[in-house]
Amino acid sequence: MIIEDNCLTLNQIADFLSERGYKVVPCKYCEEAKELLNEVLPDLIILDIIMPDMDGHDFCRWIRSNSRLKMIPIIFLTARDSIEDKITGLKIGGDDYITKPFSMDELLARIEVILQRMDSFHELSMRDELTNSFNRRYFKERLQEEIHRVKRTGRPFSIIIADIDYFKKINDAYGHCVGDFVLVQLVRFLQNHLRRTDLVARLGGEEFVLLLPDTSSGKAFLLMERIRKVLAETHFQYNDNDTVADITLTVSAGIACCPEHAEDAESLMTLADRALYSAKTAGRNTIKISIAAQKHT
């Protein structure tokens, strides 16, 4: 996203980056950018400071205060060239500061460096170290994005909290190495039985959460029921460090859907967790939809 009120500069940067394979969202005003940020989540923002409707510094502060947008890198591109201006820009959350007149090649190099660094950081920060599934922090980010999308489109999504039944018995019988092996294998199993658009994240221990875009609670139930049945019949073979094990396992799971049951992250997680508890108390190896869903059927 480029936010620049000078049409000549805006078009020059947009054309230069577009020719090099970047998708550009040009904006002449900060308020226009705010509106567009309800629809898009750019990888980087190039921001002028002297703008007709809103100071670029204030816009940067607004970005950094917004939980959905705060991690977007910002490059200030401005005629303000004093040391004080540069220090202020960096202190309020700018990732780089370029003064006008500037070199397009230098701008491109700085963009590429920031995006490469962000890619590396994001890949490391969003993954669970053991299973390579997504972690809780990244799941929370995606959950907020999906809630935001539902408010725009009305299309539902579901979350499923799944827990391995009697996981402690596996650790007690074979040791934690086999337990870790089971966690890794379960993630691979789930990923192989889900769509590419679905997400698997580890909440902690043997508990995982699935995020299923464009999926009602009923469809989520049918999908998870198929997974549950196939998983119960699958054997995971472990053979390492003089330990041989033929592992079978089952899961219990609880489902909640947005906007069917709730429209905020905390409520959705609470409802799915309660449904999981209901599945556990019903004898395990069971899938339950939130009670809130049953009121609508």
Q: Which residues are catalytic?
A: 206
Rg (CA), the chain: 24
Sign for the pseudo-dihedral over CA of 163, 164, 169, 174: negative
242: left (phi over 0), alpha (psi -120 to 50) or beta: left
Q: 290, 51, 263: which is closest to 150 by C-alpha? A: 263
| Identity at 241, one-letter amino acid code | N
Cα dist from 46 to 24, 114, 237, whole Å: 10, 12, 52
Distance CA 36, CA 223 (A): 35
- Local structure of residue 7 (DSSP, 8 states): H
Tokens of 123: 């890949």
